[in-house]
Every structure is written in structure tokens, then in C-alpha cells.
Amino acid sequence: MEVKIGVQNAPREIVLESSQSADEVESAVAKALEGTSKVFSLADEHGRRVIVPADRLAYVEIGEPSTRKVGFGTV
């Protein structure tokens, strides 16, 4: 699913495709905002990790689960 992360004082948002569920992403955001965790961390589909300091989060937009693409360009 597509996740967009807005960071304070940053001109662009971070966009990644995550294999985590919407509930898992929401739980990670909640932990970061309530102070349980100092950082907000997500992994994308390729295993890369995005780590944002919790006090710099502006917003997190959780998209719909991605569907399989059909066509010649999906190889």
C-alpha cells in the first residue's frame, strides 16, 4: 500500500510502497505521536527502511492496498 509521510520543514513528502497493513502503519504512527517511540519507522517492499523523528511528523497518509497490475510493463 502507498504511504505518504509529511515532514515538518521539508519541501517534499516521502512516498513509499509498504507491505505492512494499514493497522500496522497506524499503530506505528500512534506510538510515535504518544511518545512511546522517539522515531517513526516503516519498511518498503524492497526492504529499505524510512526513519523519521517523531517530533518532525507533519502527517501520514495511508492509501488503499495496492492491487496487482496487469500488462506488459509489470515484468
The answer to whether the beta carbons of residues 52 and 14 sit under 8 Å apart is yes
Q: 30-65, pLDDT tens digit by residue?
A: 999 898 889 999 998 888 999 999 999 999 999 877
> Per the confidence metrics, is the pTM higher than 0.85?
no
CA atoms of 10 and 23, how far apart (whole Å): 26
pLDDT band of 74, cuts 50, 70, 90: low
CA atoms of 8 and 49, how far apart (whole Å): 19
CATH of domain 2-66: 2.30.30
